Every structure is written in structure tokens, then in C-alpha cells.
Copies of this chain bind each other. A is one copy, B any other.
Amino acid sequence: MHVKSRYSFHDDYSEGAHPNVIEALSRTNMSQQSGYGEDEYCDAARRAIRDMIGAAEATIYFTPGGTGANLVSIASHLRPHEAVISAESGHIVGKEGGAIEAIGHKVLTGPSVDGKLTPETVQSIFQGSSEFSYQPKARMVFVSNATEIGTVYTKRELMAVAAKCKELNLLLCLDGARIGAALASASIPASEDGMTLTDIYNLTDVFWIGGTKNGALLGEAVVIKDPAFAKDFPYHLKQRGQFLAKGRILGIQFKTLMQDDLFFRLARHANEVAAEMSIFLARLGYKLWAATESNQVFVTFPPALVQELLDDFDFFIWHHLPDGNLVARLVASWATDPLEAKRLCQVVEQWTTKHQGLAQLRFT
């Protein structure tokens, strides 16, 4: 078996799927099933998700990936002249190749706070694009949870955005590529201000549960609330090339992930490994560029340290700071080996001791 020379914290889709998922695909492989999501595994997965949400009426469809989940969710809920409100840092703004514009909709943007959209920003973007017919008509708000920088919406925060949407007659769409990590976030005790899938369902009009980044080979589960929009969803899926003939492989994966809380157990593992790295690196004096609330660590390193780390590890340079330092993104996933995380921390620690002076210099 091939092993990468350097251990990767580059993203949460470097490995395949959780062994249970592979086993389920293998076990069910030869059974004959109807195509396009009308198989027994998709039915079972839908039941399992509805149970977790606690909404027997929820409509659920599966897409191969996240861009497709977003574009079909938006295409099916908007009319051609309607626009989407998003944070400038939103995934659909600069990370999906103009997929939303390609289906005809403008994305109206404003600044985010800790990667999140606030009711105030929604209000001001709405006011800037609602008075005249030469302004694209704001009709939907798009948020991701966890956000692009790994922060997590508290229940209070999402309730406030949802309330603003109701007030302004805006639909709320939630991108759940990392919803597992978000809902499993330890930074927000569920008891207090945390959320469950039920909260997400109640507060949004359409959202999706990300499988690709949390244990599946591929696949996202889109949950649609309004029957008027749910009715024709398969037409939209087909028209946009998001309807797999062997939908069974999406069904069996979600069925498996929903069993015995596997989906959230995997998310907690990822969050825990990220938290350990985050705490350790912070203790060494390295500034966190964003709060570590889910499975991603954004930490500020001097270039020399990054050079050293890149000998043994792979990760993404998220940002170049004016002061010359770099923001490294360290992503932990369900598959990340805690010992490799520890090893990375040790390399940083050794380097730091060795280059104390330099470090001091750079961080005062």
C-alpha cells in the first residue's frame, strides 16, 4: 500500500472512507437495486436522517459533492433575478469556480465576523440591494457551519440570522460540508449554546449534511423543508448532472454513517486532534489566526519553521501576513493519526527551543 512520504494535514479528504463504509459498500455490492436514489439504502438513509432531525416530513436527496449540493439547493429555491447574500469569506464566493453565477445568480457579499455572517451584515447588504429594480433582488442568505475558517455558529448566533431572514423575507441556506465537526464542537457545550441537526432544520429552509469530509468516499445529503421546493428536486438534480445512476452508493454510506452515532464520533475525533494541536501550539506561543472550534487549526508560524515542518508534513499555507509570518492551516479528520499530530507538535517544540531568539524576535 502506498504511504505518502510526508504525513498530511492538508485537508479532510486525503483518505478514502471509514472502514465501516467500505465494508458496507462491499457487503451490499451485488444486490440489485433501482437507480437514481430509489433504492432501499437511500430509503434507509433518509429514515435515519429524519429520525436524527426528528422531522418525518423532511425531504432528503443526495448529491456526489458539495458544489453540487449548493448549486442545486440554490437553483431550486430561487427565481432568476434573485440573489444570494454571503460573507465575503463564504465558500460559494471564491471557492466554487463561479458555480452560483453559472446558474445565473449574483452573490452579494459583506464582511464576516470570525468567518460568520451577522444579522447586521445581512441587513446592510439587503438594504443595498432591494430598493430599485436595477439591484439584484436579495432573496436568500447563505452560511456555512463550520465556517471556512473552522469557527462554529452558536445557537444564539444562528437564531439571530434566521430571525433576520424571516424579517426580510429571505430564505436561509446552510452549507454543511463540515456540519459534523460543527455540531460536535466541544467549544460550545450542547447543553448551553450548542446545536443539533434538529436546530439546524428548524432554523433553515434548506441545508446539507457533508459526507465527503466526514467519513464517506463522497456524498452530501440535502435536506429540504418546503414541499413546494422539494417536489421537483429530482428534476434539478438531473438537469445539473448531480443525480448518480447508482444512488445506492450514497444511500449505503449515509446509512452506515448514521448508525451508532458513527458520523458524530468521527467528527469528535477530528475535533479532539485539532484541539490538542491548537492548545499545544498556542502554549508554545504561536498565535492562532482563528479560534479552533472544530477540526481546523489556523496558526501563525515564521517561514523558517514552516520550511522545517514541510520536510515531514503536508499542509496548506492559508495566508501570508504583512509581517512576513505565514498562517498555516492544519486540518484533522476522522482518519488523522493522533501520534502524527503529536509528532508535528514535537517538531515545532524542538524548532522553537532551538530558535528561541528568532522566535522571540518575531513574536514581540
Binding site for B on A (CB under 8 A): 1-4, 7-8, 10-11, 13-17, 19, 22, 25-36, 40, 63-68, 70-72, 75-76, 79-81, 83, 94-107, 128-129, 133-137, 212-213, 217-218, 232, 234-246, 248-249, 314, 335
Contact = CB atoms under 8 A, between A and B. Distances in A.
Best-buried of A14, A25, A76 by chain B (most CB within 10 Å): A14
A25 B27 contact: no
A232 B80 CA distance: 11
5 contacts: A65-B244, A80-B104, A136-B239, A137-B235, A212-B246
A134 B238 contact: yes
A30 B337 CA distance: 11
A40 B280 CA distance: 33
The secondary-structure label for the interface of chain A is: loop
Contacts of A243: 65, 67, 133-134
A129 to B, nearest CB: 7
A350 to B, nearest CB: 24
Copies in the complex: 4
A135 B243 CA distance: 13
Contact of A80 (B15, B107, B239): B239
Nearest to A64: B64
Given A101-B106, A218-B246, A245-B213, A239 B65 contact: no
A35 B14 CA distance: 7
Contact of A133 (B34, B101, B237): B237
A209 B63 CA distance: 22
A28 B2 CA distance: 7
A36 B98 contact: no
B14 A133 contact: no
A249 B218 contact: yes
Contact of A4 (B14, B28, B32, B133): B32
B1 A28 contact: yes
Nearest to A335: B30
Contacts of A68: 241-242
A182 to B, nearest CB: 18
A4 B16 contact: no
A27 B22 CA distance: 10
A7 B11 CA distance: 43
Nearest to A213: B245
A30 B336 CA distance: 10
B64 A244 contact: yes
